[in-house]
Amino acid sequence: MTTTSPPRSSSRWLCAGFPEIVILVLAALLLPMAGCQKAEDPIAGLWQAEILRENSPNVAFQLEVTRDGDQVKGALVNGPDREEATSGSFDGKTLLLKFNFYDAELRADLANGKLSGAFSRQSGKTRVSRPLTATRELPEYAPSSSGPNLTGDWILQVGEGDGQRIWSASFKQEGEKLTGTVIPISGDWGTISGHFRDGELYLSRFDGIRALLLTAKLNADGTLEGNIGADRKVVGRRLEQAVSQGAKPQDPGTYTKVKNAEEPFRFSGLDLHGKPVKSTRPRASGKESSGDHHHGHLVPQLPRRSSRSCGLLRQVQERGSGSGGAGLRIHRRQGTRFGAASDLPATAWY
């Protein structure tokens, strides 16, 4: 005699103490969770950004945005170099990042996965605004390249005629990816990033102050020929070749010097806390502070722990030249940024 097992039914669960209504509730809760994925944050992450220009290629850089609840942080990224925003916000449409040490802000609207806006900062009595865009499409580089490799030191002839200058440059190439720096007499550009592809070089940097661009083609004789910015002509040769032809950058150590190295450095004014300070005070007698006089402005040295002191020097030089005490006021904002509580005054003279 053949017996068959009774069909399974919900009666077994009911008998076990699981009312049918409980099963339905659990199913309603678990099914949506099974297909649920964490929604992507519309603003957080790494963006490929560009400063838009009318008469030259756009200047590329990266914009990093992070968010923790309502707190938004951001940074301008150029290779390993980062310029951190002092504060930020995002209301669902507009991203706002403030860079108080530059008296600047980045403001951009998000629409269809693209940021469009501008980076603006105060420069003297003028508000300078640079339009920008950013997308999620990060650049891709071939891991290897069959063509020439630009890694090494170069000499650049920049400009033409009486205005020509001799600069240095250093590049590192990995596949199509190219990084490096350009070194004028006033100091290096910081890290510039880009590519070398199909015989063409593109390197750029935007750090909130400078929008820098180097584009060039590699000639058959191994020289680079192109432009810095929109139309400043540049010709590059490898260091060995350039030196053999007599092209040599000027020694920065001999470019600017004092008339009398034995004469004491004299100054007077207010420190970062508003207290009077003079060069005759023991703390200011050369033991804890020093400075250079460049284009009529005092440029104090930052502590060695600040890796960006050279960049600060360049920024003071660029913003301070020909503007009276503007360069010194910029130093005070930057000094606060780097935590440099210096006794050097806000206004000083020889």
CA 299 to chain centre: 22
Q: Which residues contact 151 (CB under 8 A, 6 or more apart)?
A: 171, 172, 173
Kindly state the average pLDDT of the residues 135-151: 93
Q: Which residue has the tokens 């009529």?
A: 296
**Residue type for position 74:** G
Strand partners, 104: 99, 121
Query: CB–CB of 304/290 below 8 Å?
Result: no
- Check residues 304 and 312 and name the one with the higher pLDDT: 312
Can you tell me whether residue 321 is helix, strand or coil? Answer: coil
Q: Report pLDDT for 265.
A: 80
How does residue 307 score in pLDDT terms, banded at 50, 70 and 90? very low
Per-residue pLDDT tens digits for 166-178? 999 999 999 999 9
Kindly state the average pLDDT of the residues 201-214: 97
Kindly state the average pLDDT of the residues 143-155: 93
Whether 325 shows a pLDDT value over 50: the answer reads no
Instruction: Tell me the C-alpha distance between 166 and 158, whole Å.
Output: 6
Closest CA to 91 of 75, 70, 106, 112: 70
Please provide the size of the chain in residues: 350
Kindly state the average pLDDT of the residues 204-233: 96
Strand partners, 62: 48, 77
**Residue type for position 240:** E
What proportions of the chain, in percent to the nearest 5, are helix, strand and coil?
A: 20, 40, 40
Query: CB–CB of 246/166 below 8 Å?
Result: no
Kindly state the average pLDDT of the residues 33-51: 78
Kindly state the average pLDDT of the residues 73-83: 97
Whether 292 shows a pLDDT value over 80: the answer reads no
Lowest mean pLDDT among 13-22, 70-79, 112-121, 329-338: 329-338
Q: Report pLDDT for 264.
A: 85
The CA-atom distances, in angstroms, between 345 and each of 191, 305, 320, 326 are 31, 21, 16, 13
Query: CB–CB of 269/346 below 8 Å?
Result: yes
171: left (phi over 0), alpha (psi -120 to 50) or beta: beta
Whether 333 shows a pLDDT value over 70: the answer reads no
- Two tokens at 58? 């756009």
Closest CA to 313 of 338, 341, 350, 285: 338
Kindly state the average pLDDT of the residues 314-330: 41
Name, of 1-5, 223-227, 276-280, 319-323, the range with top average pLDDT. Answer: 223-227
Query: CB–CB of 291/344 below 8 Å?
Result: yes
How does residue 256 score in pLDDT terms, banded at 50, 70 and 90? confident
Angle at 98 between CA 127 and CA 325, to 5 degrees: 50
Neighbours of 196 (CB within 10 A): 25
Please state, for a pLDDT cut of 70, what percent of the chain lies above it.
Answer: 69
How does residue 129 score in pLDDT terms, banded at 50, 70 and 90? very high
Q: Report pLDDT for 261.
A: 83
Q: Report pLDDT for 295.
A: 36
DSSP state of 283: G
Q: Report pLDDT for 49.
A: 98
